[in-house]
C-alpha cells in the first residue's frame, strides 16, 4: 500500500481572484518541482498561453499571470494515497480548505481540470461552498484524445469569468 502524501505547495490566489481552477493532486513531476502542471506533456500552461495570448516560460511568470488575470489555482485534495501521478489510484482523499480560499478572495466561479478533480470537489467541497464547479476536459497527457486546439475551445468558457 502507498503512503499518504500531503500537498507540497500552497495555492496561488489573492483577494482579487475571481475564478478558481482546481486540479486533483499534483503529479510526481509537479511535487518534485514545487508547482502546478510541471509535467512537460501536460497542456495546462500551453493552453493558458493560447487563451490569454501570453508567454509563460517559468514559475514566476505563471504566478504573475495568475494574479494579473485574477485566477486562483489549487487542487481539490490536500492529502491522499496515490500511485505515481494516476488520479485513478487516489485513495483516502482529504480535501483542501477551498471554502477558506473562496472566503478570502472574490471567487465566484469554480472550474475543475478533469473528472477526478470535479468528482472530488463535488463530493467533499461543494457541500461547504455551495458553488457548483464546471468540469473542463483534463489537460493531462493521459487525456491524449483531446488536442490542444480542442482544449482551447472547451476551456475558452473561463474567459467569460475573467472579464476579458
The string of pLDDT tens digits covering residues 48-75 is 999 999 999 999 999 999 999 999 999 9
CB atoms within 10 A of CB 127: 9
Q: Which domains does the chain have, with CATH numbers?
A: 4-158 (3.40.470.10)
| Distance from C-alpha of 8 to C-alpha of 5, rounded to nearest angstrom | 8
> Which set of grid coordinates corresponds to residue 21?
481552477
Residue 25 and residue 36: Cα distance in Å, rounded? Answer: 9
Q: Is 53 exposed, middle or buried (0-12, 13-18, 19+ CB in 10 A)?
A: exposed
Phi, psi of 158 (to 5 degrees): -70, -20
Give bridge partners of residue 161 from the DSSP assignment.
none
Residue range 23-48: average pLDDT? Answer: 97
Q: Tell me the three state secondary structure of residue 55.
A: coil
* pLDDT score for 1: 52
pLDDT in tens, 68-121: 999 999 999 999 999 999 888 999 999 999 999 999 999 999 999 999 999 999
Contact 114, 140 (CB under 8 A): yes
Amino acid at each position: 500500500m502507498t503512503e499518504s502524501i500531503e500537498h507540497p505547495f500552497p495555492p496561488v490566489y489573492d483577494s482579487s481572484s475571481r475564478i478558481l481552477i482546481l486540479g486533483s493532486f499534483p503529479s510526481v513531476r509537479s511535487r518534485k518541482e514545487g508547482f502546478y502542471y510541471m509535467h512537460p506533456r501536460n497542456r495546462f500552461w500551453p493552453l493558458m498561453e493560447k487563451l490569454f495570448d501570453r508567454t509563460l516560460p517559468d514559475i514566476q511568470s505563471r504566478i504573475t499571470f495568475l494574479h494579473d488575470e485574477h485566477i486562483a489555482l489549487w487542487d481539490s485534495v490536500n492529502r491522499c494515497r496515490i500511485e505515481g501521478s494516476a488520479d485513478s489510484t487516489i485513495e483516502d482523499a482529504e480535501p483542501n480548505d477551498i471554502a477558506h480560499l473562496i472566503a478570502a478572495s472574490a471567487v465566484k466561479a469554480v472550474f475543475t481540470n478533469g473528472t477526478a478533480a470535479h468528482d472530488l470537489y463535488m463530493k467533499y467541497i461543494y457541500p461547504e461552498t455551495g458553488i457548483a464547479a464546471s468540469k473542463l476536459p483534463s489537460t493531462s497527457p493521459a487525456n491524449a484524445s483531446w488536442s490542444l486546439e480542442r482544449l482551447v475551445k472547451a476551456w475558452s468558457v473561463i474567459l467569460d469569468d475573467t472579464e476579458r
